Structure 1
Amino acid sequence: MTPEQKDIGQYWWNINIPESQWTPECPEFLVGQTAKNIGILSRNPDEDRRRFNWEEVQEFAKTNRIHHFERSASALRAYLEYMHHLKKTYGSVLAFIQHQRLHWDEIVPSSDKHFSNPADFKVLYNDWPYHIDEDITHLIVWTKWQMDDEPATEEPTAETRREIEEFIVKTFCEPNAGVTRRIERDRIVWFKNWKSLKSVHALGG
């Protein structure tokens, strides 16, 4: 390795990737990253990063400290590159999610009660889950309506919490729920994504 190569290898965007992929300039999909993302991408290899366990996941969700959730360095890099690809290919992440994943022609909600009309929401696996234990399943409930929250804290309002709780119990926990195996309520934890953390702002979830 030449001195010049060694210097290039110290750039944060070249850490944790093979030398053959090093570049003297920051890749387009990584330009303008936050200090948090740069810190994650600059960390030790994934195998040295402990996954969040179930107790930690519950704590973050229940105390609304969801900003502590993180992806591994390799997953974050892949996620950012994929988001960049979607924007260039489809014009926006919203366009891809709406038409390719949710298969919604429009995102105007009906006037029906929340969670009563299946056309207004959809449950999908998170394609890019956080660095959580592999036996934890991360689902996303996409909604055409924006769930109400408290402006000062971005925490769900009492009414939003009630609606979400009813939906969870009916969908996953009741004996006649449309799942293969009924799930105990204490095995489910949920959080509403902050507006500041969303990658798709036009949809709820």
Structure 2
Amino acid sequence: MGDLPVKTSPEEAPFPLTDVDKWVLSLTDEDFHCHDWEDMKNIVAENNLSVLKRKPSDLQRYMTWTAETKADYGSMTNYLLTHRLPKTWGTPPFTPASTIPFDDPSDFRVLINDWPYGLTSDITHIVVWSRTIIETDPQTGDMTPRSRQIVANFVKKFFADKLGPRGGEKVLWFKNWVALQSVRSLEHIHLMVKEAGESVINEWTKELDCHRMQN
């Protein structure tokens, strides 16, 4: 039983909980139904991102970990910059090599999500972090048509095309609305990839020379 998370109440959550999160916390893992590929396709197609959820035990662990990390590092941004993102980025506000998101390899970093949503085992949850701003509509918090097209082109070239002729059918992506982001100061998009092999995942997520500080 030692691996069970310390219970954190919704009132003590270190980030805003959605109504779905609060409902999930009332469940057991046995009662929880994972998002499968058809479910994810519908969620992304409808842009209904607020229904995405983690397993109850994972959500509890994520809440506990986030609270501890903020206490240790001051913010999630500081933790990510220290341990997960390229040292070459420095600290916000960043100075990207390109003003176009995902145009220059030094401006983005592909990582497996440390805290994925509750997904079936055939789906890999990837996060692409960007030091270039991804434009959003200030009224809605959602992406603009232009930024959505830029990201779509990047996802096709970098991810889908590496999965063969029908690779586009195995990749879904979205950017959380501003109101749903748990790390708001660092730009990122989410990808769900179906049945991706270990070799291609390693290729996507490898650290590049441009991400390293030069001695």
**TM-score between the two structures when normalised by the length of structure 2:** 0.73
Match of 2:154 among 167, 188, 197: 167
Contact 2:113–2:127 (CA under 8 A) maintained in structure 1: yes
Shift of 1:29: 5.4
Per-residue CA distance 1:24-70 (angstroms, 9 max, x = gap): x9699548974733332122x20221111111111111211100001
Q: Which one of the candidate residues 11, 22, 47 is aligned to 1:64?
A: 47
Q: Displaced runs of 4+ in structure 1, greater than 3 A?
A: 20-23, 25-35
What amino acid does structure 2 have at the position aligned with 1:127? D
Task: Tell me the residue number matched to 2:106.
Answer: 119
Give the letter aligned to residue 91 of structure 2: E
Is the counterpart of residue 106 in structure 1 residue 91 in structure 2?
A: yes
Matched residue pairs, number? 181
Separation (CA, whole Å) in 1 of partners of 2:50 and 2:102: 26
Shift in Å, 1:143: 0.8
Are 2:188 and 1:201 aligned?
Answer: no
SS at match of 1:190: strand
Q: Which runs of 5+ in 1 are unaligned?
A: 1-16
Contact conserved, 2:142 with 2:178, CA < 8 A, in 1?
no
In 1, distance between residues paired with 2:11 and 2:42?
A: 36
Say which structure, 1 or 2, has more relative contact order (CA 8 Å, 6+ apart). 2
Amino acid at match of 1:38: K
The reply to whether residue 84 of structure 1 matches residue 67 of structure 2 is: yes
Local SS of the residue matching 2:109: strand
| CA distance 1:60–1:170, change in 2 (3 Å) | same
The answer for unaligned runs of 5 or more in structure 2 is: 189-215
Q: Deviations over 1:107-133 (max 9, x none)?
A: 413252331222211111111111111
Cα distance, 1:193 vs. partner? Answer: 1.0
Q: Contact between 2:6 and 2:60, CA under 8 Å: does it hold in 1?
A: no
Q: Which residue of 2 aligns with 1:158?
A: 145
CA separation in 2, counterparts of 1:144 and 1:21? Answer: 33
Q: How large is the RMSD of aligned CA atoms in angstroms?
A: 2.9
Partner of 1:190: 173
Q: Could you tell me the percent identity over the aligned residues? A: 29
CA distance in 2, matches of 1:30, 1:197: 14
- Counterpart-to-counterpart distance in 1, 2:43 and 2:16: 24
**Equivalents in 1 of 2:78, 2:187: separation in Å?**
15
Deviations 1:139-159 (A, max 9, x none): 111111231122333332111
Q: Judging by fraction of residues, say which structure has more strand.
A: 2
Query: Which letter maps to 1:138?
Result: H
**What is the rounded CA distance, in whole Å, between the counterparts of 1:155 and 1:34 in structure 2?**
19
3-state SS in 1 of match to 2:173? coil
The one-letter amino acid paired with 2:23 is G
Give the greater-gyration-radius structure (CA).
Answer: 1
Contact 2:36–2:120, Cα closer than 8 Å, also in 1? yes
2:117 alignment partner AA: Y
Relative distance call for 1:155 and 1:27 in structure 2 (3 A) is: closer
Give the TM-score, by structure 1 length: 0.77
